[in-house]
Structure 1
């Protein structure tokens, strides 16, 4: 399992509209092969800042399966207009302790 982690900065004044768009877009990502779960966290200290975490079975489920899909084009159309600056996506793997 891998964790996709993204710090998102939403344009000022668009937070409510973004959250509603994200609720609708969640159906897209949840339908993808290799998807496990996701959550969107709103920052308490900084208005318009969010943390998105998505669990995937494999890195390729995200980077190839989702990112190269028609569904991703719809996701992009629904959400990318809200971000400024455009976010950096990082992937993490669990360390067995």
Structure 2
């Protein structure tokens, strides 16, 4: 199992829209090969910040399977315009 971790800083004033888009995007990622589980948590101290935790069976399921899929293009359209700056994504075993 691999844990994907990303700190998401959302542009000021867009958290409600981000959360709505994330609910839609969740339906995409949940269908991907190797996906196990995900959590999105809002920061208490900084309400424009979230942490995204995604469990994958393998690193390749995320990096190759998801990120190179047509479904990822929809994920990007739904979410990437909310980030400032664009998040670093790290993986843990």
* Match of residue 25 from structure 2: 25
Give the Cα separation in 2 of the matches to 1:78 and 1:15. 13
Q: Which one has the largest radius of gyration? A: 1
Task: Give yes or no for the alignment of 1:36 onto 2:32.
Answer: no
Q: Output one character per residue of 1:53-84: Cα deviation in whole Å (capped at 9) or x when no partner.
A: 00000000000000000000000000000000
RMSD (Å) for aligned C-alpha atoms: 0.3
How far the C-alpha of 1:47 sits from its partner, in A, is 1.8
- After the TM superposition, which residues 71-86 of structure 1 pair with which residues of structure 2 at under 5 Å, given as runs? 71-86=71-86
Unaligned runs of 5+ in 2: none
- TM-score for the superposition, normalised by structure 1: 0.95
Aligned to 1:50: 50
Segments ≥4 residues shifted beyond 3 Å: none
Partner of 1:88: 88
Q: Which residue of 2 aligns with 1:70?
A: 70
Give the aligned length: 93
TM (norm. structure 2) is 0.99
**Whole-Å separation in 2 of the counterparts to 1:47 and 1:33:** 32
